[in-house]
Amino acid sequence: MAEPQRESWGSRLGFILAAAGSAIGLGNIWKFPYVAGQNGGAAFVLIYLAGIALLGLPILIGEIIIGRHAKANAVRSYRMFGGSPRWRAAGIWGVAGGILLLSYYCVVGGWTLGYIIKSASNPLGSTSTVQEARELFSLFTGNPVEVVVYHAAFLSLTAASIITGIQNGIEKWNKFLLPLLFVILVILIIRSNTLEGSSRGLAYYLVPDFSRIRVTTFIEAFGQCFFSLSLGLGAMVTYGSYLRGDEHIVRSSAMIVFLDTLAAFMAGLVIFPAAYAFSMDPGQGPGLTFHVIPVIFSRIPLGQLFSVLFFILLAVAALTSAMSLLELAVAFCIDELHWARPKSVVAMSLLVFIVGLPSALSFNLIAGWKPFPGMTFFSLADTLTSSIVLPFGGIWICLALLKSHAAGIAREELSKDKIPPIWISLWIFMMRGIVPVILLLLILYSFLR
Ligand code: PHE
């Protein structure tokens, strides 16, 4: 039976926006500001940029090469790149890891939807202290029915955006949502930086404090850049597989990296000035978004409007990332199981919903259940994916490249883009020697922590 023709992106811009949409996510808006806050502000940003050059960009180029070469789902793409059926395992690793990551990502995505509605209908407007905001957050996540319904709602939005395919679904939505995201960021930056007392926050963020740099700062920054660029699972392999073959891989990758870093940097420009204006500690960790933001917005004129905007921003960022994770699994079902797209989307969404249930319930019904010492299911899923599954996913690519088969494919693909041979050799050298060492250090660090 002849296979139906495979879809592709309508334009190079469409691909770049979709891939940037995957990269720009909760990692940028939620995690980057607080990790930077804990690690010396601007000094951290500089190290982060080094991480992008040494780790992020090389692997991103690698993933797109693998996908564009095979024009198939991640499992088949890794198999073709590795040159023997064993390499299917690397793809399966990514698809399974993607399902696990998406399952708790959608729970947090659900919270953002909940907070849009809560801030629009105002109970957030009355939270005038961080203590109150914290209580409101526990009350919300402590209600099993509510979080499960929001989890399902977020997942349904993700499924609905990709069910219509690549050009009419993913590409169309990203072309609309990504510019929207940047517009909201600009509005919030202006609001935040016109608050009284905000300039100290800006100084903290922009003037590097190298005395706060530790060895661990490098590890944090490199790990963050890996997660932020959606690497290690095959999401970028899958998006790269819808390229027609005449798009320039290195130039597109540089653009994706630029947009991703810009968004993270801009999120910091919203958070730090606002936090300082209200004398709140920007280094206080993950609660920054859900505990501090509502309070800040409750204290300024038109705060409710900005609060709604902020949570729309978070939801949009999360949604465009979730699309790429669902597509990773869906492309597998379409290519390997020969299912139609709608069936694949529905089946994979149901699977993600079920796997996500224990994460959604980790804050209420099963809060006492610790599948791993000191960790709820939610934190286990988070740690397992970001500290183990993703970095190993990068290592598989480096291992494959040790063989001349994979290196040959990479050379061939990059030559099509007219990359000079000396640059190609430099890239292969980095992927064989430098990148895997950094990734092993990341994994080691997460075990010792
Ligand atoms: N890059 C996304 C973020 O910053 C998360 C992600 C990781 C998405 C891996 C896809 C694959 O939130």
pLDDT band at 286; cut points 50, 70, 90: low
When pLDDT is cut at 50, 70 and 90, the band that residue 125 belongs to is low
28 within ligand 1 shell (Cβ under 6 A): yes
Helices (H), 26-143: 26, 32-38, 42-51, 57-70, 74-82, 88-121, 130-141
CA gap 248, 416 in Å, rounded: 8
Write out pLDDT tens, residues 198-252.
999 888 888 888 888 888 888 889 999 999 999 999 999 999 999 987 789 999 9
Amino acid type, 422: I
pLDDT higher than threshold 60 for residue 3: no
Distance 435 CA to ligand 1 centre (A): 19
pLDDT the model gives residue 219 = 87
Ligand 1 pocket check: which of 162, 230, 265, 383 to mutate, most ligand atoms within 8 Å of Cβ? 230
Q: Does 281 score more than 90 pLDDT?
A: no
**pLDDT surpassing 90 at residue 20:** yes
The CA–CA distances, whole Å, from 147 to 225, 317, 444 equal: 29, 19, 34
In this structure, of 42-56, 60-74, 299-313, the range with the lowest mean pLDDT score is 299-313
DSSP, res 54:
I
Handedness of CA 123, 128, 131, 133 (dihedral sign): positive
Tokens of 39: 């690690």
d(CA 167, CA 327): 13
Q: How many CB atoms lie under 10 A from the CB of residue 216? A: 12
Q: Count CB neighbours of 403 within 10 A.
A: 14
Which of 120, 224, 176, 110 shows the shortest CA–CA distance to 320? 176
- Residue 285's pLDDT is 66
- Using 50, 70 and 90 to split pLDDT, how confident is the model at 294? confident
Q: Is 325 exposed, middle or buried (0-12, 13-18, 19+ CB in 10 A)?
A: buried
The one-letter code for the residue type at 184 is I
Instruction: Give 386: exposed, middle or buried? Use CB within 10 Å, 0-12, 13-18, 19+.
Output: buried
- Sequence-separated (6 or more) residues with CB below 8 Å from residue 189: 266, 269, 270
pLDDT tens profile 411-438: 999 999 999 999 999 999 999 999 999 9
228 CB less than 6 Å from ligand 1?
Answer: yes
pLDDT on residue 130 = 77
Report the nearest atom of ligand 1 relative to the CA of 232: 9
Q: Tens digit of pLDDT for each residue in 356-366?
A: 999 999 999 99
**Residue 190 CB neighbour total at 10 angstroms:** 11
Q: d(Cα 29, Cα 133) in Å, to the nearest integer?
A: 19
Residues 6+ apart with CB under 8 A from 153: 110, 113
Task: Tell whether the model's pLDDT for residue 1 goes beyond 50.
Answer: no
Q: 202 vs 106, which has greater pLDDT?
A: 106
Q: Label residue 131 by pLDDT band (50, 70, 90).
A: confident
Distances, alpha carbon 367 to alpha carbons 73, 88, 104, 386, in Å: 37, 36, 15, 21
Q: What atom in ligand 1 is closest to the CA of residue 28?
A: 4
Residue nearest to atom 11 of ligand 1 (CA): 230
45, 265 Cβ separation under 8 angstroms = yes
Q: Which two three-digit tokens encode residue 265?
A: 């940097």
Reported as a single tens digit per residue, the pLDDT across 176-185 is 999 999 999 9
* Amino acid 2: pLDDT: 47
Ligand 1 centroid, distance to 105 Cα (angstroms): 9
235 lines ligand 1 (CB under 6 A): yes
The span from the CA of 191 to the CA of 156, in Å, is: 32
Round to whole Å and give the CA distance between 172 and 178: 10
Q: Is residue 321 lining ligand 1, measured as CB closer than 6 Å?
A: yes
CA dist 287 and 405 (Å) reads 47
Q: Which atom from ligand 1 is nearest to the alpha carbon of 25?
A: 12
> If you average pLDDT over residues 44-56, what whole number do you get?
94
Tell me: the pLDDT tens digits for 313-366? 999 999 999 999 999 999 999 999 999 999 999 999 999 999 999 999 999 999
Q: Is the pLDDT of residue 390 over 60?
A: yes
Task: Evaluate if residue 133 carries a pLDDT over 50.
Answer: yes
Q: Compute the chain's Rg from CA coordinates.
A: 21
Name residue, tokens 């999401």. 235
Q: What mean pLDDT is reported for the chain?
A: 92
Contacts 24+ apart (CB under 8 A), 374-382: 378/104, 378/107, 381/100, 381/101, 381/103, 381/104, 382/104
* Beta carbon of 324 within 6 Å of any ligand 1 atom: yes
Which range (131-145, 253-267, 411-425, 432-446) has the least confidence? 131-145
- pLDDT, position 123: 62
39/214 Cα distance (integer angstroms): 8
Ligand 1 centre and the CA of 22: distance in Å?
Answer: 6
